[in-house]
Amino acid sequence: MTSSGSDRRLHVALLPSAGMGHLTPFLRLAASLLNHGCQVTLITTHPIVSKAETTLISTFLATFPQVKELQFHVQPLGPSDANSTDPFFLQWEAIRRSIHLLSPLLSSLSPPPSALVADVSLISAVIPITTSLKLPHYILFTSSARMFSLFAYYPTVLSASSDASSPSGDSIAVPGGIPIPKSSIPPLLLKPGSLFASIFTEDGKKLKSLDGILINTFESLEPETLNAFKGGKVVDGLPNVYPLGLVPCDFEKRAGNTPLKWLEDQPTRSVVYVSFGSRFAVSREQIKEIGKGLMSSGSPFIWVVKDKKVDKDDGDSLDKILGDELVEKIKNKGLVVKEWVDQEQILGHKAVGGFVSHCGWNSVVEAAWHGVPLLAWPQFGDQKVNAHVIESSGLGLWPKSWGWAGEVVVKGEEVGARIEELMGSESLKLQAAHIREEARKAVVDGSCKDAMKQLLEMWKNDS
Ligand code: UDP
Ligand code: G50
């Protein structure tokens, strides 16, 4: 899509897909592009799955009234249209199936954009549109570079396997990287016919048609993997990978449920923060054990309990979820919250010294940004691959025997012992502080800043 006039501002269109883990880095990218003087169009897909996404989009648009919002109204899926019950995956699929509605939206933009940055989950649906509009197509990969290396290499692995839907052997040796054990790859990839497996394998084959890959990561977290991409080792002919370091912004700040006053009264680095992200409900049995573990750990805590996958669905009250006995015991030891908290402000608070996390990639990046060591407790999807990054960078501990969600119920005693280890480790503290410093250097005047500069240059040359 070309336009006349060389002095016009760079215009970039952004198309995130469903889920806070996808929306958040897109909006951070938008804020960064605005900072660089770009014009930004945000394509929002409707209906929006969660309340958290609706709130974030409206605060973002209120903060940046210069951003043009284009609403993309997605057609509902039929009852047998997709093999999944996950509302976020179903929305990804609904967007893919409604993609013909995207073309007129993009064509309506004036001036025409220089590039579209679209969600990773929409790759093969979007390619025909960007090709016909001659619009450069970039993706924002919303997980680790290590996960991206698996995504890129997976089609090669499957083509070499006797069973075309499952890799052979016990691990996947992505060239230039540390092998990924089969037990760490997203379980849905090994489930024949799952919606996630079909999107992942179909899209993985198309990466060479893209113009570039944006990843929210830092060199200090994933030096080997980023080097492997630089050296073209992972897969021949992949487009450039841009490690961007998309860190929390002011527009994300939320008053309300975040216990900042309580944190003020806690000793420095004493508090452990426990959260499993925005789209995962921990089982009742495991919740009880986490409660016991937190009490036996001896650390004050902020514990976010999520009872439902989607925040619009009404769940039980905290008293009901935890049970009267646990509520009574916990009272003076820490805080339990059921609503959305401002994780950025918690991780950035000096009283917080550790984070028990499901290893959603945004949470890992935020912990690295603030130098908070992690106790990695991956539950599903890409989270074990991300946990490998945590372990190999020295940002945290990962008790591998805890398995995926639902495989075992980890006993309170063990949870407590690992939290004690996390909170007591001087070496983790030092390494996390080092990663924080390196991340800040990369964003302020290092590799992340350079990657953004290169990207903007590229787009300017394309327009
Ligand atoms: N988050 C938050 N408050 C909450 C729950 C989540 O601010 O109560 C934010 C968190 O900081 C992160 C995002 O939501 O930016 C969750 O993304 P992540 O990739 O960590 O996990 P997902 O929710 O996608 O599994
Ligand atoms: C969500 C999820 C499981 C899972 C992932 C999720 C990712 C992220 C990267 O986002 O792996 C990704 C790669 C390819 C793709 C979509 C998303 O098609 O529940 O593994």
pLDDT digits (tens, 9 = 90+) for 312-321: 887 889 999 9
**Backbone angles phi and psi of 34, in degrees to 5:** -60, -40
pLDDT on residue 1? 56
Q: Residue range 49-53: average pLDDT?
A: 96
pLDDT on residue 332? 87
Q: What percent of the chain has a predicted confidence (pLDDT) above 70?
A: 98
Whether the Cβ atoms of residue 353 and residue 270 lie closer than 8 Å to each other: yes
Whether the Cβ atoms of residue 428 and residue 397 lie closer than 8 Å to each other: yes
Residue positions annotated with a catalytic role: 22, 119
Ligand at minimal distance from the CA of 367 is 1
Query: 178-191 pLDDT, tens per residue?
Result: 999 999 999 999 99
Asked if pLDDT for residue 356 goes beyond 70, the answer is: yes
Which own/partner pairs from 359-362 qualify as long-range (CB within 8 Å, at least 24 positions apart)? 359/383, 359/384, 359/386, 359/387, 359/390, 360/21, 360/277, 360/278, 360/386, 361/21, 361/142, 361/143, 361/144, 361/147, 361/216, 361/386, 362/20, 362/21, 362/24, 362/25, 362/142, 362/216
CA of 16 to the centre of ligand 1 (A): 15
CB of 382 shorter than 6 A to ligand 2:
yes
Q: Please list, in sequence order, all residues whose beta carbon lies within 8 angstroms of the beta carbon of residue 253, skipping any fewer than 6 positions away.
A: 342, 344, 345
CA of 64 to the centre of ligand 2 (A): 29
Tell me the pTM. 0.97
CA of 385 to the centre of ligand 1 (A): 17
Query: 115-149 pLDDT, tens per residue?
Result: 999 999 999 999 999 999 999 999 999 999 999 99
Which two tokens mark 211? Answer: 């113009």
CA of 142 to the centre of ligand 2 (A): 8
Residues with CB under 6 A from ligand 1: 19-21, 24, 275, 277-280, 304, 340-343, 360-363, 366
CB of 120 shorter than 6 A to ligand 2:
yes
Ligand 2, atom nearest to 141 Cα: 9
Cα-Cα-Cα-Cα torsion 329, 334, 338, 341, nearest 10 degrees, comes to 180
Ligand 2, atom nearest to 189 Cα: 20
